[in-house]
Amino acid sequence: MSLDRGWVAAAARRIAERFERDLEAMVAVSSPSGDVAAAEELCALVAALLPDEAEIERVPCSSPGFAPDLIARLRGSGSGRVVLLGHLDTVVAHEAHRPLERLDGRLVGSGTIDMKAGVAIALGVVRALAASPEQFAELSLITVVDEEWRTGGFDHGQAFAGYDACLCFEAGQLAPGGGEAVVAKRKAAGTLRAVAHGVAAHAGSSPEKGRNALLAIGEVARRVAALNDPDGPQRLTATPTVLHSGGDAFNVVPATAELVCDLRADRLEAFQPVLDAVPGEIDGVGVEAELVRLWPGMDSREPVARLLAAPAAELLGGPVHVGGRGGASDASHMAEQVELTVDGLGPRGGHAHHPDEFVDPASVEPRAAIALAFTAAALAQGSG
């Protein structure tokens, strides 16, 4: 079977026809990061939705204590090797979980756009290619269960080093002019955590005997925010996001406080000056600071535009724009090992991490076509 424009259109239509059913089944499972039972249930569901030809393996997760991740492989007689990438975990706690429902023309539910809808399309791509093993040497799908809460590294990149392409299924997007786009550039991301250790004292009778950790951590927040420079050479954003104070009562000088800050920049090296700006002591309060979550940047725009975008556009009968996005993704980790890494192949939607998170169902078929076209182009590039 030739992976031509007709194949792309027909396969995209089939993916769209069963998309809502697959998405509903996945969203029905509440799966906050770290819940082993939920991850096991979702991995079993993914295995059931894969074609019979898929070889399924459970591999250790990058995060200790999490359920194993899932890798599925189709082996063929061709020469191209492509890996599809997605995650099954969400940031939504069980008590806030919302099953899938149609509201005002949208598919609303927890984890829909981030990123169970993308996984549903990736599964459709695997099913579409299962009937054409002559088109590839290996087509793999990896679904991880810790993307939303991973604090360490990513353990799976090396296993796919040398593959012809990695396609990641985070949410799709439109180009500034309105055309369909994929993501080939992401900023590096980091999390700075600072803890202040002061001395408690009665706030009314003897506040001078205390050392106010809350005031100290507030000064840390000010210093971090002062380094925010989104228009600078590294496009650094430094944003205090979470603050906890350890005061025991309204009339007690707080002895401890903790601050978390979100950092984004073109390169990881931009975060070290932010960490260096946090002193070890402020007004007698000890301060400890560290970078606890580091995600590399990604910029594969040139090779993607040169090697994949034009062949994919030919299969689609129209252009696809190659753009960027600020948010972090596992695609950034894979890009360190696979030069042709493309993200944003999922459907379009919005409000990720919010109660009204949604997918635009009208985007499913065209975004599935884009995913199929990029997969076919990557396999052709590998065979060439």
Domains of the chain: 5-187+297-383 (3.40.630.10), 189-292 (3.30.70.360)
* Overall average pLDDT of the 255-279 stretch: 97
For residue 382, what pLDDT is reported?
76
Secondary structure element (H or E) that encloses residue 331, with its range: helix 330-335
Mean pLDDT of the chain: 96
pLDDT of residue 290 exceeding 90? yes
Q: Is-contact 188 264, C-beta < 8 A?
A: yes
Is the peptide bond prior to 298 cis by the omega test (within 30 degrees of 0)?
Answer: no
Q: Is-contact 77 134, C-beta < 8 A?
A: yes
Token output for 97:
């979980």
pLDDT tens string 54-112: 999 999 999 999 999 999 999 999 999 999 999 999 999 999 999 999 999 999 999 99
Q: Is-contact 304 184, C-beta < 8 A?
A: yes
* Count of CB atoms situated within 10 Å of the CB of 361: 19
Distance of alpha carbon 135 from alpha carbon 153, whole angstroms: 33
Classify 279 as helix, strand or coil: coil
Distance of alpha carbon 301 from alpha carbon 169, whole angstroms: 17
pLDDT tens string 228-240: 999 999 999 999 9
CA-CA-CA-CA dihedral for 100, 102, 105, 110, to nearest 10: -20
* Overall average pLDDT of the 242-252 stretch: 87
What is residue 255's DSSP assignment? S
